[in-house]
Amino acid sequence: MTVTEPGPLPGGPLSDEWGTESLRTRVAELLERARARTRVLTEAVDEADLVAQHSPLMSPLVWDLAHVGSQEELWLVRDVGGREPLRPEIDGLYDAFQHSRASRVELPLLDPSEARAYVAEVREKALDALGASPLRGRRLVEQGFAFGMIVQHEQQHDETMLSTHQLRAGPPVLHAPPPPAAAASPAVAEVLVPAGPFTMGTDTEPWALDNERPAHVVDLPAFRIDAAPVTNGAYAAFVDAGGYDDPRWWSERGWAHRVEGGLVAPQFWERDGDTWWRRRFGVLEPVPAAEPVCHVCFFEAEAYATWAGKRLPTEAEWEKAARCDPSTGRSRRFPWGDDEPTPALANLGQRHLQPAPVGAYPAGASPLGVHQMVGDVWEWTTSGWHPYPGFSVFPYPEYSQVFFGGDYRVLRGGSFGTDAAAIRSTFRNWDHPIRRQIFSGFRCARNVEPGSGPEGA
């Protein structure tokens, strides 16, 4: 099957430029692109594998499949479409708040063929709702929002299912071409982001989720940020220097977790003599030195940064480095500008099943020369999960609000497993600081010492 490449999405307040019919066509393409990916992930394994629990951190794949359909039914078929429930008796099974991931395998779930029939029936009715909706007049459907929210929801679960694949044992079942080689590495290791205000968040991105709103001005002192994510090679130097054995580099909580969890290296790494190997979707291979490190938790990222004499960026610093155009002071939708991602700009969409080496996407760099902020690996920041000033829930509290103030750290930028329609420079992700089955890496930042030279003035 063909998974179409990202094309233009409605960006900014473009409702006048996008006729209703072209918006419908675009929504239908994106719904199909998400579904094609869902099919790849759920047809690559047999039925026993689909219903199995591969890790206590993950749902059985068949739960994600029917949950995707259940959310689509709730929002697009029942709410937007005004239709009666297809199978009201299964709602509770697919409510993420009623059952932990570890317990879902015990539920009387739809079996794989029932789940496939269910999501297909929901999709048919969702497309009816798309045809019938004016896509305006009501905030939920304005500029196709509810459809965009459901596209992104399925794509988020596609990334979750990709993590499940990474955790399952056995020979490889997913295949993809390697990412592009490094074309032009960043000119410098670190970039200076000058002091001053920038606009964080958005009021205009039509499919931005509630936590990305509203746009607000944040004034930051000057700071330096790495021009690229920390690589496996750099991280291996920390491991090989005994970084995991020295509590000086770790926060108190981080050290406790490192000891209790028995962490010795990133997840999926193993050492053989002098060589680090990793298991990636069933393939055992030497760890590629030039790729961004992946599968580290927040505490490992923090320890590396301390060892390197740096720190992790805050969420605001990350966003400013990613989108601020210093020549105009304007905030961009993406590091490279306002245009949608293409395969030349960022490693997204499970097109490759690994991060690309540093320097693979010079065209995707920000105006300040910061590379690979979108795609490759999610990047840990030091920020906790909090609402922006003026936040309001839309359309439901269980997406963002119920998690505010919890034990989470914000991650930014998306990974190779994230679809282009589910990432932008304002997009905010969050997870527990101990999690590393996600496609998580990081880059470092540091303060500019006062009087350290003209650029720091």
104 annotated as ligand-binding? yes
Interface residue with ligand AVJ among 429, 436, 437, 441 (CB under 6 A) is: 429
Interface residue with ligand AVJ among 153, 295, 320, 371 (CB under 6 A) is: 153
Structure tokens at 361: 């996407």
Tell me how long the chain is: 457
Interface residue with ligand AVJ among 249, 269, 299, 430 (CB under 6 A) is: 430
435 annotated as ligand-binding? yes
Residue with tokens 């074309």: 183
Closer to ligand AVJ by CB, 357 or 414: give it.
414
83 annotated as ligand-binding? no
Closer to ligand AVJ by CB, 71 or 143: give it.
71
Q: Report the DSSP pairing between strands 378-380 and 440-441.
A: parallel
67 annotated as ligand-binding? yes
Q: Which residues partner with 200 through β-bridges?
A: 216
The verdict on 439 binding ligand AVJ (CB under 6 A) reads no
Closer to ligand AVJ by CB, 334 or 430: give it.
430
Closer to ligand AVJ by CB, 59 or 306: give it.
59
Q: ∠20-159-157 over CA atoms, to 5°?
A: 65
Residue with tokens 């400013």: 320
Q: Cα(283)–Cα(176) distance, rounded to whole angstroms?
A: 12
C-alpha torsion angle, residues 38, 40, 42, 43 (rounded to 10): 140
Site track for ligand AVJ across 272-291, x = CB under 6 A: --------------------
Structure tokens at 378: 């999610």
Closer to ligand AVJ by CB, 232 or 418: give it.
418
Q: Sign of torsion, CA 29 30 33 38?
A: negative
Count of H-run helices and E-run strands, the chain: 9, 14
The verdict on 412 binding ligand AVJ (CB under 6 A) reads no
The verdict on 156 binding ligand AVJ (CB under 6 A) reads yes
Q: Cα(370)–Cα(414) distance, rounded to whole angstroms?
A: 15
280 annotated as ligand-binding? no
224 annotated as ligand-binding? no
Contact range with ligand AVJ by CB under 6 A, out of 77-85, 124-132, 153-161, 213-221? 153-161
295 annotated as ligand-binding? no
Let me know: does 364 contact 227? Beta carbons within 8 Å.
no
Closer to ligand AVJ by CB, 344 or 402: give it.
402
Q: Cα(397)–Cα(406) distance, rounded to whole angstroms?
A: 14
Feature table: binding site? 67, 101-104, 153, 157, 431, 435
Site residues (CB under 6 A) for ligand AVJ?
153, 156, 160, 399, 429-430
